[in-house]
Amino acid sequence: MGRERTFAQVDVFAARRYGGNPVAVVLDGDGLTDTDMARFARWTNLAETTYVTTPKSEGADFGLRFFSPHGELLFAGHPKLGSVHAWLESGGKPGNGDVVVLECGVGLVDVRRTGDTLSFRGPALRRTGPLDDDYLDRIARGLRIDRTDILDHNWVDNGPGWAAVRFHRRLRSRRPRRAATAMRLTT
């Protein structure tokens, strides 16, 4: 990474310390290569690490890139909120009052500040429709369930590649294989 960079670790969705979903936020990500970003994201060992950059789009307060230990994401919810919080705490000033406009892989996203609360409307779905058979088979194997226990399924992908699966109520107490929890839900 070459030089020291400011970063924060933010505990998102927490009413008390160490009770939320952490994200690492590099507050000065300009000049880092994709390889640098990916390497640091793996090192943090968190679900996501973000990089605040200079935006290219007019009207954006800052650019934001999202990396998991497995690669770059176009968008992710809790890291966006943690990143906006860190940006504001480090002295960032939104150009539009209480609305912070950030530029990410899915375009411009508004984050509204109301007191101590940050909120956003998720971007439009990039992918919808039913999952394919091979993918459903992988999900069933990962969850250690029979494929016939999957009652419904659909892509709900607005950037991270999410797939939604509804299965029989009797399976709610099942625990997936550890390796399945790390499975990327994109094809």
Residue 163, both tokens: 């797939």
CATH number at residue 105: 3.10.310.10
- CA pair distance 2, 157, nearest whole angstrom: 35
Whether residues 39 and 115 share a domain: the answer is yes
Structure confidence by residue, pLDDT tens digits, 78-116: 999 999 999 999 999 999 999 999 999 989 999 999 998
Q: Contact 139/145 with Cβ under 8 angstroms?
A: no
**Residue 128 within a domain:** no
**Residue 125 within a domain:** no
Number of domains in the chain: 2
pLDDT at 50: 97
Q: Which of 46, 29, 28, 45 is nearest to 37 (CA)?
A: 29
Domain termination site, one of 120, 147, 173: 120
Q: Which of 142, 75, 140, 147 is nearest to 111 (CA)?
A: 75
Whether residues 92 and 146 share a domain: the answer is no
Whether 170 has a pLDDT exceeding 50, the answer reads: yes
Q: Contact 42/71 with Cβ under 8 angstroms?
A: no
Structure confidence by residue, pLDDT tens digits, 113-157: 999 899 988 777 888 899 999 999 998 988 888 898 899 999 988
pLDDT at 104: 94
CA distances from 89 to 29, 84, 110, 116, 178 (A): 17, 8, 18, 11, 36
**pLDDT band with cut points at 50, 70 and 90 for residue 187:** very low
Residue 8, both tokens: 């924060």
Structure confidence by residue, pLDDT tens digits, 9-22: 999 988 888 888 99
Active site residue ranges = 48
Whether residues 139 and 114 share a domain: the answer is no
Domain termination site, one of 77, 98, 120: 120
pLDDT at 184: 36
Q: Contact 57/108 with Cβ under 8 angstroms?
A: yes
Whether residues 107 and 143 share a domain: the answer is no
Q: Which of 18, 87, 13 is nearest to 53 (CA)?
A: 87
Domain that holds residue 148: 133-181
**pLDDT band with cut points at 50, 70 and 90 for residue 181:** very low
Q: Mean of the pLDDT values across residues 148-173? A: 82
- 3 state SS of 125: coil
Q: Contact 136/147 with Cβ under 8 angstroms?
A: yes
pLDDT at 126: 82
